[in-house]
Amino acid sequence: MASIEIQSVTKSYGPVPVLHGVDLSIGDGEFVVLVGPSGCGKSTLLRMIAGLEDVTSGEIRINGRRVNEVEPKDRDIAMVFQSYALYPHMSVADNMSYSLRLRKTAKQRITAAVAAAAGKLGLDPLLERRPRALSGGQRQRVAMGRAIVRQPKAFLFDEPLSNLDARLREQMRAEIKRLHHEIAATSIYVTHDQIEAMTLADRIVAMHGGIVQQVGSPLDLYDRPANLFVAGFIGSPAMNFVKGQVREAAIETGDGSRVALPAALELAERHAVIIGIRPEHVRILREGERDGHVAGVDLVEPTGFGTIVHVRLLGEDLKVYTLDRSAAEVGRPLRLALDAERLHLFDGENGIRLN
Amino acid sequence: MMTPKHLILMILHRLAVLAYVVFALFPLFWLLKVSVTPNNLLYSEGVKLWPSRPSLEHYVFVLEHSDFPTFFLNSTIVSGTTAVIVSIVASTAGYAMSRFQFRGKYWVVGLMLLTQMFPLVMLIAPMFKMLSPLGLTNSLSGLVVVYVAFNVPFATFLMQSFFDGIPKDLEEAAMIDGATRWLAFRQIILPLTLPGIAATLGFVFTAAWSELLFALMLISGNKAATFPVGLLSFVSKFSVDFGQMMAAGVLALIPACLFFLLIQRYLVQGLTAGAVKG
Amino acid sequence: MPSTARDAPRFDDRRTAFQKLGCLLEPWLYSAPALILIVTVMLAPLVLGISYAFRDIKLLDPFSGGFVGLKHFYALAADRAFRGALVNTLWWTFTSVLLQFLLGLVLALLLNQPFRGRAIAQALCFLPWAVPSFLSGLDWAWMFNPVVGPIPHWLYALGWMSEPANILANPEHAMWGPIVANVWWGIPFFAITMLAALQAIPKDLYEAAALDGAGPLERFRSITLPFLAPTIAISVLLRTVWIANFADLIVVMTNGGPADRTQIVASYIFTQAFRRLDFGYASAIALVLLVLLLVYSMLIVALRQTLLARH
C-alpha cells in the first residue's frame, strides 16, 4: 500500500495547458475520487499518476519516491480502464495472470492468486471464457480482478462504470466499496458522476478547468461547497441559485424580494451575490403558516420516494424537493420558506463562498 | 411481401451481378478450355465453348517436358519469401505510423506516398547497374530484395489501418501490467491483427507472383526464371504453342487465385476498419 | 515514457540521457527496416536514374558513361515516337480509369446489398485482381486472336466487324485490346475500395432519408456520393498515376505495335532500356514522365486545397 503525493503538477499539450498546478496528498489506504465534468483534467491527472502521460512540471511521488521518469510498468500500480481493455484473445484466467506471467512468477503462485481474486469477485465459473463471451458487468469484474491479482501499491480507476446501465452501475458501486473495505488499498477513482463520488469516496477532489476546486469528505463538499461550481455539481437534484444584490444589510433578489443575510458579513452596498439553497432545504409552508414567499407551481415530477416541484420564486425558476406527495399541484401557488441555516452565499463575480 | 416492382428490381440486380461474375470468370474459363483442347482440334474448334475431346496432353507436356516446374518453384520461393519479409517489416512500420506522433512522421508518410507515384520502369536501368556488381542479377535473392522494397509502402499503409482499428488502451493496460512496448506489441497487439497480416501476405504474394518487367530485366536464362519470364520465353521458343501456354497459365493461376480467395475478405475488412477510425 | 502525446518543453526533466534517447528513437526503430529498404532499393536507384538521363549509358558499349548534358532531351523533343507515346498514354490512362471506375462503382453498389450467395459472388468478381497481369494480357491477347479466341467471331456475328480479324493487329483499334484487359483486371481494385467506403456509411442516414421521402436516386445523390467523394478522389488519383506507369499489358499484348500505335511512355521506356539497352535515353524519358506525373499530382493537391478552402 502506498501514499501518493502530487506537487504543483501541471500539464500542457504543446502550448495548450490542461492542468494548472495540482497539489494533492493521498494517504495510505485512502479512497480518493477525482470528479468533474468532461475536460476538467481528471483523467489526464490519473494517467499521469499511472505514467501514461508525461508530467510537464511538478512532481509525483509514490511512497516518497519521485516517479516522474519511471515507466508505468515499474510503478507497481494497477489500472481499471473505462473500456476494460481486456485482452480479447486470452481467457479470463490468462487475462488476470498476464502481469504475473510477465514477472515469471511460479505457476502455483499464479493459480492461487487468480483463484483468490476470482473468488472475491465471483468469477470462478468464467475463468476459461473469452472476453467476448462475457456481459458488461462480468467484463468489469475481470478488469478489477486483473488489477487485484497484482497486489499493487495503488489502484487507479478511469470511469469504470460509465459503460454500464443504471442498474448494473448501482450494483458495481456497492461491490467496489465492499472490495475496498476488504482490501483497504490506496485507490484513485475518476468519474463524472457525482453520486459515485459521494458514495465511494473517503475524500472527493472536485476539478474544473484543470484546477482543483475543493478537496474534502463527501459531506464537507455537500454541506459547505467552496464555490459555485462545487455547489452546483454535487448533489442531485442540483442546488438552486438566485442572483441578487446586497441592499441595506439584506439581499434583494431580481423580483424585488428581500432575503436576510445568512451571517454577519462585511459586504459593500450593491455587491453582487448569488444565493444557493438546496431543493430539500426549501420548505413548503402549511395552510395558516405566515411568512415565506409566494411561488407559482410550473411542474410536478414524482419520483416515487420524493417529489420535485418546479416553482417560480424570487424571480427565478427553482426546484423544491419534498417528501409530501400531495404538497403541490400545477397552478396552485405555494408559500415557501428558505431554511436560513442552510443558505449558501457566493460572490457574484468569482463564485467563491462568502459564508 | 414482394411488390412486382421489388421483384423486377431484384431480378435486375441479380442479373447485373451475374453479368459481372460471367465477365470476371469467362477469360479464366477460356484459359481452361484451350488448355484441355488437344492440338489437332485447336484450330478447327477455335470458337466452340468446350472441346469435343478434352485432353490433358498439354498439362503432361508442360509438367514433364518443359522447364515449367522450375519456373513454378522459383516463383513460389520468391513470392513466398517476399510476402513473409514484407509482412514483418510492414507490421513494425505500420505500428509506428499508427501509434506514434513523432517529428519526421510526415516526411516518412510523404516518402511512402512518393514511392507509389513514380514510374517503376524508371528504376530498371539504374537497378540493373546497381545489382550487377553485387551479383544479384539473375538471382532469386536479387528479385526478393527488389520486390520487398516495392511492396513495403502499400503494405505499411494496409497494416497501419488495421492497427488503427485496435484500441490504444490494450497496450496501455499491458504496459501497466508490466510489459515493455515491444512486448505489448508482440504479445497483445500483433495476435489481434492476424486478419491484417493475412491480407498483407495475400496481397504481396499476388503482387510478387505477377511481377513481369523487373523479372524480365534482371533474369536471363531459365534457371532463375520466375513464371512471367518463363511463360514469355515460351512464346518465342515454341512459335506460339497455345495449348501448352494456356496449360502453363492455368497452373500459374492456381496458387495466386487460391491465396487471393482466402484473403480478399480481410482486405475489405481492413480498408473499412481504417476508414471507420478516420 | 510512452510518447503518446506531444509535450511542451519540460522545465524539470530528470530522465537519464539513455531514457531520452530511447524515447526519441522508439518510433524510428520500429520504422527502420522499412525505411532502409525504401531508401536503398528505391530512392538510390531513383537518384542514379535521374543522373543517367544526363549521361550516355549504353549497356553493351564499354566506353559509354560520359556526361552528355541535355543531349537526350533534345533528341526527345524531336522524337516523333515519343510524342505519339504521350498521346497514347493520355488515351490509355483516361479510358482505362474511367471504365474501371464506373464499372467498379456499379459493382460495389451491387455488392453492397445483402443477398444470398453474396460472399461467393464477391469473391468471384474480385478474382481477376489475383490473376498476374502478364497472364491476363496473354489471355486476352489469345481471346482476341481469331485463331484461338472467340471475340473476333462474336464481334463479326454482331456485325461490328466486317470479318473476324485480330483487333490487336489493327492500328486504329489495337489500343482497345489492352484497355479491355486493363479494365477486366482493374475493376476489383475500385470495387474493393468503394465497397469498403460504402460499408462505412452509417445505415441510419439512409433510413432517415427514406422516412423523409427520398427515393433511391435522391439518397444516392445526397448521401452516398458525398461520403464516397474522398475515397473516389484518392482512388482515382492513385490509379491514374499507377495506370499511366503500367506497361506490362502493352508489352505483353502488342509490344507497342502495330506501328507504335499502342506504345505508351512507360512501355517506350522499357523498350529503350530492355531492347535497345540505351539506359541513358530511357532514363531521360523516365525523368520527363516523372516530372509530368509530379505536376499532375500537385495540380490535384492544389485543386483539393482550393475545394477544401471553399467549404
pLDDT in tens, C281-307: 888 888 888 888 888 878 877 877 777
Chain C contact for A68, CB < 8 A? Answer: yes
Chain A positions in Cβ-Cβ contact with residue C15 (cut-off 8 Å): 69
Query: 270-289 in C: which are within 8 Å (CB) of B?
Result: 270, 273-274, 279, 282-283, 286-287, 289
- Report, in this order, helix, strand and coil percent for chain C, each rounded to 5: 70, 0, 25
Q: Which of C42, C48, C274 is nearest residue B115 as measured by Cβ atoms?
A: C42
Query: Residue B102 in 3-state DSSP?
Result: coil
Chain B contact for A195, CB < 8 A? Answer: no
Instruction: Using alpha carbons, select from A147, C34, A34, C113 the residue that is nearest to residue B105.
Output: C34
Q: How many domains are contained in chain A?
A: 2
**Domain CATH number, residue A267:** 2.40.50.140
Share of chain B above pLDDT 70, in %: 90
Nine-digit cell at A36?
A: 468533474
Buried b vs exposed e over A296-333: b needs ≥16 C-beta within 10 Å?
ebeebeeeeebbbbbbebbebebbbbbeeeebbeeeee
Q: Which of A77, A89, A99 is nearest residue B192 as measured by Cβ atoms?
A: A89
Considering the domain architecture, whether residues A160 and A245 belong to the same structural domain is answered as: no
Chain A positions in Cβ-Cβ contact with residue B173 (cut-off 8 Å): 79, 81, 85-87, 146
pTM, rounded to two decimals:
0.79
Mean pLDDT of C106-116: 88
Greater confidence (A227 vs B6) lies with: A227
Res C3: pLDDT: 47
Q: Domain boundary at A233, A249, A266, which?
A: A233
Task: Check CB contact under 8 Å for C7 and A69.
Answer: no
Chain C contact for B170, CB < 8 A? Answer: no
pLDDT in tens, C36-50: 888 888 888 888 888
Mutate to test the interface with A, among C3, C12, C16 (most CBs of A within 10 A): C12
Res C115: pLDDT: 85
ipTM > 0.90 for the complex: no
Considering the domain architecture, whether residues A196 and A89 belong to the same structural domain is answered as: yes
CA–CA distance, C250 with C241 (Å, rounded to integer): 16
Task: Check CB contact under 8 Å for B177 and A71.
Answer: no
Is residue B25 within a helix (H) or strand (E), and if so which, with residue range? helix B4-35
Q: Which of A52, A79, A88 is nearest residue B192 as measured by Cβ atoms?
A: A88
Considering the domain architecture, whether residues A152 and A209 belong to the same structural domain is answered as: yes
CA–CA distance, A98 with A75 (Å, rounded to integer): 16
Share of chain A above pLDDT 90, in %: 57
Tell me the fold of C85-275: MetI-like fold (1.10.3720)
Chain B contact for A101, CB < 8 A? Answer: no
Chain C contact for A13, CB < 8 A? Answer: yes
Mutate to test the interface with A, among B168, B169, B177, B190 (most CBs of A within 10 A): B177
- Of A46-50, B175-179, C236-240, the one with minimum mean pLDDT is C236-240
Residues B96 and C31 sit within 8 Å (Cβ to Cβ): yes
Q: Domain boundary at A233, A260, A293, which?
A: A233
B168–chain A nearest CA distance, Å: 9
Task: Check CB contact under 8 Å for B24 and C125.
Answer: yes
pLDDT in tens, A144-197: 999 999 889 999 999 999 888 999 999 999 999 999 998 889 999 999 999 999
Q: Is residue A94 part of a domain?
A: yes
CA–CA distance, B74 with B77 (Å, rounded to integer): 5
pLDDT in tens, A111-127: 999 999 999 898 999 99
Query: 55-74 in A: which are within 8 Å (CB) of B?
Result: 71-73
CA–CA distance, A322 with A311 (Å, rounded to integer): 12
Mutate to test the interface with B, among C1, C38, C281 (most CBs of B within 10 A): C38
Chain A contact for B89, CB < 8 A? Answer: no
Q: Is residue A352 part of a domain?
A: no
Considering the domain architecture, whether residues A86 and A189 belong to the same structural domain is answered as: yes
Task: Check CB contact under 8 Å for B17 and C110.
Answer: yes
Q: Which of A15, A51, A69 is nearest residue C15 as measured by Cβ atoms?
A: A69
Q: Is residue A127 part of a domain?
A: yes
Mean pLDDT of C48-66: 74
Q: Domain boundary at A233, A260, A276, which?
A: A233
Task: Check CB contact under 8 Å for A69 and C5.
Answer: no
Considering the domain architecture, whether residues A269 and A215 belong to the same structural domain is answered as: no
Q: Where are the domains of chain C?
A: 85-275
Is residue A335 within a helix (H) or strand (E), and if so which, with residue range? strand A334-338
pLDDT in tens, C206-234: 888 888 887 878 888 888 888 888 778 77
CA–CA distance, A222 with A233 (Å, rounded to integer): 10
Considering the domain architecture, whether residues A135 and A265 belong to the same structural domain is answered as: no
Residues A56 and C7 sit within 8 Å (Cβ to Cβ): yes
Mean pLDDT of A290-316: 88
Put the strands of the sheet holding A211-216 in their side by side order: A77-80, A154-158, A186-191, A31-35, A203-208, A211-216
Q: Is residue A354 part of a domain?
A: no
Chain B positions in Cβ-Cβ contact with residue A83 (cut-off 8 Å): 167, 169
Considering the domain architecture, whether residues A123 and A37 belong to the same structural domain is answered as: yes
Task: Check CB contact under 8 Å for C7 and A59.
Answer: no
Chain C positions in Cβ-Cβ contact with residue B96 (cut-off 8 Å): 27-28, 30-31
**Domain CATH number, residue A13:** 3.40.50.300
Dihedral (Cα; C217, C219, C224, C227), 10-degree rounding = 140
Task: Check CB contact under 8 Å for A54 and C6.
Answer: no
Considering the domain architecture, whether residues A88 and A172 belong to the same structural domain is answered as: yes
Chain B contact for C244, CB < 8 A? Answer: yes
Domain that holds residue A317: 240-347
Task: Check CB contact under 8 Å for B125 and C200.
Answer: no
Res A333: pLDDT: 87
Looking at this protein, which amino acid is placed at residue A107? K
Q: Is residue A183 part of a domain?
A: yes
The mean pLDDT value of chain A amounts to 90
- Of A292-296, B237-241, C227-231, the one with minimum mean pLDDT is B237-241
Chain C contact for B209, CB < 8 A? Answer: yes
pLDDT in tens, A335-347: 888 888 888 999 9
Nine-digit cell at A145?
A: 480482478
pLDDT at B180 over 80: yes
Chain C contact for B259, CB < 8 A? Answer: yes
Considering the domain architecture, whether residues A24 and A126 belong to the same structural domain is answered as: yes
Mean pLDDT of A90-97: 92
Which chains neighbour A (Cβ–Cβ under 8 Å, 3 or more pairs)?
Answer: B, C
Considering the domain architecture, whether residues A108 and A52 belong to the same structural domain is answered as: yes
B218–chain A nearest CA distance, Å: 44
Task: Check CB contact under 8 Å for B34 and C123.
Answer: no
Chain B contact for C136, CB < 8 A? Answer: yes
Chain B positions in Cβ-Cβ contact with residue C273 (cut-off 8 Å): 121, 124-125, 217
